[in-house]
Amino acid sequence: QVQLVQSGAEVKRPGASVKVSCKVSGYTLSQLSMNWVRQAPGKGLEWMGRSDPEEGEASHAQNFQGRVTMTEDTSTDTAYMELGSLTSEDTAVYYCAIMNVYNSNFPDWGPGTLVTVSS
């Protein structure tokens, strides 16, 4: 059974960057397809992208191109999502989620990290 533990809540100024971590236990991170999904307050789910170092490529939703970096530290089984040039519209709960690569669903989710962007 895979477990995901995310870093704590963050408060950032507009224009800053935030880096959220997601530590995997129960499996080796390199065996998994780690994705990131966010949810603004009172809004729906928005897929941000995934990192897949084993295949040598990452895939990001167009809304985040050039602004998001997704990395993995296989020595600690920890995935990271860094989002830059923050605006108030980036205030959201950020989830890491494991994708089932056979049918592209998400059976396992982290608890979420609240990122608040405020001046």
Write out the residues near another protein by the rule CB under 8 A: 35, 37, 44-47, 59-62, 65, 95, 99-100, 103-107, 109-112
* 3-state secondary structure labels for all residues of the chain: CCEEEECCCEEECCCCCEEEEEEEECCCHHHCEEEEEEECCCCCEEEEEEEECCCCEEEECHHHCCCEEEEEECCCCEEEEEECCCCHHHCEEEEEEEEECCCCEEEEECCCEEEEECC
Least separation, in Å, of the C-beta of 74 and another protein?
23
Least separation, in Å, of the C-beta of 59 and another protein?
6
Give the nearer residue to another protein in terms of CB position, either 18 or 98: 98
Give the nearer residue to another protein in terms of CB position, either 14 or 55: 55
Give the nearer residue to another protein in terms of CB position, either 64 or 80: 64
Least separation, in Å, of the C-beta of 1 and another protein?
11
Q: Which residue has the tokens 């040039």?
A: 85
Least separation, in Å, of the C-beta of 99 and another protein?
8
